[in-house]
A and B are shown apart, each in its own frame.
Chain A
Amino acid sequence: MGETAQKPTVPEQAGAPAVESTSAGREPLLEVDHVTLRFGGVVALNDVDFTLYKGEILGLIGPNGAGKTTCFNAMTGIYQPSEGEIRFRGERITGKKKHHITKMGMARTFQNIRLFPEMTALENIQVGADAHHKTSVLSALFRLPRHQREERDGLEKAQRLLDFVGIPHRMHDAARNLSYGEQRRLEIARALATDPVLLCLDEPAAGFNPAEKEELLQLIRKIRDQGVTVLLIEHDMRLVMGVTDRIVVLEFGKKIAEGLPAEVREDHRVIAAYLGVPDDDVA
């Protein structure tokens, strides 16, 4: 395989942008516009409002139960916001079908890994690659040229992505037989196979040791350098501080802070949320 084959196929635009500290004048990719989400009496998201700009790595952090994953689920079409709306690439995605949102260029991984356990690593990624394929039942049945072409492309893409995330040797193993870390990587590869503009990672480092976390940081940076915008939910403050360009902090379903990692780290509300402080200390 040649040099060029090492890169995953991701949209060509925006290749490795230099990240600026200000968001002014940059193109918004995902706008979460005053979203409120209620389950009966429980308010899971309360007027959450933030914008994700093209080419950045945004961290979404907060203590357990703060609504981070709920926010993810609202973005990927699993939940419909009770109020407010979510726009992706300028288009309203509220009410759109989930597979359609994926086709628009948003891909995600899951907090609790959700691969297709009986399929091989390669096939898992091929499913992702199929998101943009158009092979119909008839062309598959008679192995028409379109099927052949898309099959070849999907296979090559899957092999490139396995190389990219560093598990090419597990190509033919069933996903459930992969180690925990390999499964996390495979999930990222599967999401990348859908050619996302925005990749949402839900606690990708959960259960990793420091060395594995460092490798994951490298991988996330590499993905960003391919021109993919990354939204990262993470618990581990050090990991978040090390890789993100900006951070949004949620607590009890509300946004309590937003800004550069250094700013957020100094924010007393964030410190209070994470460490807990006596009530009278909170301004």
Chain B
Amino acid sequence: MTSVREWIDSGRHAVSERWHDAPRWMRWAVIAAVIVFFYALPNREFYQWLGPIPTTGSNFGQVLFTISIYVLLAVGLNIVVGFAGLLDLGYFGFFAVGAYTVAVLTSPSSDLKTLWPWLLALPLALVLTMVSGVMLGTPTLRLRGDYLAIVTLGFAEMIRVAATSSEFLKGQRGFNQIPHPPGSYSDGKPIFGVLDPRPYYWLVLTLIILVVLGVRNLNRSRVGRAWISIREDEDAAQLMGVPTFKFKLWAFASGAFIGGLAGALFAGKQNFVSSQNLELLNSIIILAAVILGGSGNIVGAIVGGGLVAYMIERFRGIEFFGIELYEYRFMFFGLVLVIMMIFRPQGLIPNRRRAAEFKDRRKEVTVGG
């Protein structure tokens, strides 16, 4: 067993060494290839060659859309949990704020009857989720550890209960006929229709790339260092001049922004938002995805979010001795998590040291001084 693990570890090590030693253009080429692969993925002409990877029980494009939403959420939660080390058990609450803001402003079943187009409601949804992040954070971010976890858990439940029981938020009946994002092909057909899920997936994929670029910039700046120093030792960070409260609020607000974006996209695709979308389980799944992938690492969060969502969807429509495996999906999911925590508690792609970023500089320094 140990030897197998050593073998895997050394293999992984060799891969990461090779990756960091590779010239810059080669790394960009690999990244570009991966991106092209994922853009091509929902096309039948492409995925039919991928053997058992495409889901059998449901439309693969639809599954990819769901996965992409989870990836976006994992990237957002990774800022809060992975970088700043704030255990947020109610992250899905921000998704709800985003989705519901869009629903209330655009849907004809809303009491407001504003009937805004989706694109107009989007910025307001993002601002509102950020505000809700700051509102939740201002009183609660003075708490630490377990206490913060409980309060955030309460926040998500509050939103769910409000959505279920408030007349204004329509409970389980929900909001329907939420408009799609704008845009049409040259023949007048809308790009974002009901039948083809692929454009939505491509839209989310594009936004993931933009969000990841932004998060990466933040991570490699004063802001990212402040977050990580808070995670590592909050008191020491404060004494080294980090305004910890301010940066914890920013972590919450940035995470909320991304969660709200995911919610608004979901509402625009799904047409329909109701309190049934808001299970506590969703918050847990996203947290599990971040931890599985490797808390504190952006690529880890992407891989974690993708894998978890894919695992859940992959079971759909598979029968095994007459048992519908989809019914047991969370059992398998739990099993995988337990195994992970035993053999690789730091996650699949853990928070790697950023040494490589400075590699070129290291040579300069050893030569010069």
Contact = CB atoms under 8 A, between A and B. Distances in A.
Do A and B assemble together? yes
A168 B238 CA distance: 25
Interface string A113-145: 011111110110011101111010100111100
B50 interface: no
Given A99-B242, A120-B353, A174-B353, A137 B218 contact: yes
Contact of B241 (A102, A110, A140, A154): A102
Contacts, number: 116
Interface string B196-233: 00000000000000000010011001111110110011
Given A116-B228, A171-B365, A127 B354 contact: no
Nearest to B230: A116
Given A130-B222, A163-B369, A119 B232 contact: yes
Contacts of B217: 140-143
Contact of B228 (A5, A115, A118, A147): A118
A260 B362 CA distance: 45
A151 B221 contact: yes
Contacts of A159: 365
Nearest to A174: B353
B43 to A, nearest CB: 33
A123 B239 contact: no
A103 B362 CA distance: 30
Given A99-B242, A143-B217, A135 B229 contact: no
Contact of B225 (A99, A119, A194): A119
A174 B244 CA distance: 22
Given A114-B233, A118-B228, A102 B222 contact: no
B243 A172 contact: no
Nearest to B223: A140
A261 to B, nearest CB: 29
B228 A102 contact: no
A190 interface: yes
Contacts of A98: 238-239
Contacts of B324: none
Contacts of B250: 137
A122 B224 CA distance: 14
Interface residues of A, number: 50
B225 A141 contact: no
A191 B239 CA distance: 9
Contacts of A133: 222
A155 B365 CA distance: 12
Nearest to B358: A172
A119 B229 contact: yes
B283 interface: no
B51 interface: no
B353 A99 contact: no
Contacts of A116: 228-229, 232-233, 236-237
A150 interface: yes
6 tightest A-B CB contacts, nearest first = A131-B241, A140-B221, A1-B369, A116-B232, A102-B241, A172-B355
Interface of A: 1, 5-6, 76, 78, 97-99, 102-103, 107-108, 110, 114-120, 122-123, 126-128, 130-133, 135, 137, 140-143, 147, 150-151, 154-155, 159, 163, 168, 171-174, 190-191, 194
Given A116-B233, A131-B242, A140-B218, 20 more contacts: A1-B365, A102-B239, A108-B239, A114-B235, A116-B229, A118-B351, A119-B232, A120-B354, A123-B225, A127-B237, A130-B241, A133-B222, A135-B222, A135-B223, A137-B254, A140-B217, A140-B222, A147-B221, A168-B369, A191-B240
